[in-house]
Structure 1
Amino acid sequence: MEKFSKVKEVIAAIEADAEKFYNGGNAAAGTRVRKAMQDLKGLAQEIRTEVTEKKNSAK
């Protein structure tokens, strides 16, 4: 659950940059959004692995 909370924190942190990029055309904000999305991808994979392990250990 800790990693899921981290995902929510990352999304909340990049919300302003996403707004700047999509509505303001700020290229640097777009770069920050891309980096955060890459971080989210890694977190999502870690969560998937944890869920699979927990599910399989319950059998």
Structure 2
Amino acid sequence: MERFEEVKNLIMSLEGDFDKFYDKNNQAAGTRVRKGMQELKTLAQDIRTEVQNMKNAES
């Protein structure tokens, strides 16, 4: 569950930048959103790999 908390925290930390980019057209916030989404993608892939490894270890 610790990994899930990491995902939630990352998404919540990006909320302000999403608002600034989409509502206020702040280009720097868009860059931070893109960077955060890349981190989210990497974290999600790490979690997928971890889950798959744990699942395979039980077999």
Same fold (TM over 0.5): yes
Residues of 2 paired with 1:14 and 1:42: CA distance? 16
- Structure 1 residue 4, shift from structure 2 partner: 1.5
TM-score, with structure 2 as normaliser: 0.94
Superposed CA RMSD in Å reads 0.7
1:13-56 deviation digits (Å, cap 9, x = unpaired) = 00010011011100000000000001001100100001001111
Identical counterparts, % of pairs: 58
Residues of 2 paired with 1:17 and 1:40: CA distance? 15
* Aligned pairs (5 A) from 1:20-59: 20-59=20-59
Residues of 1 paired with 2:4 and 2:45: CA distance? 11
TM-score, with structure 1 as normaliser: 0.94
- Which structure 2 residue ranges, 5 or more long, are not aligned? none
- Which structure 1 residue ranges, 5 or more long, are not aligned? none
The runs of 4+ residues in structure 1 deviating greater than 4 Å are none
Q: Would you say how many aligned residue pairs link Structure 1 and Structure 2?
A: 59
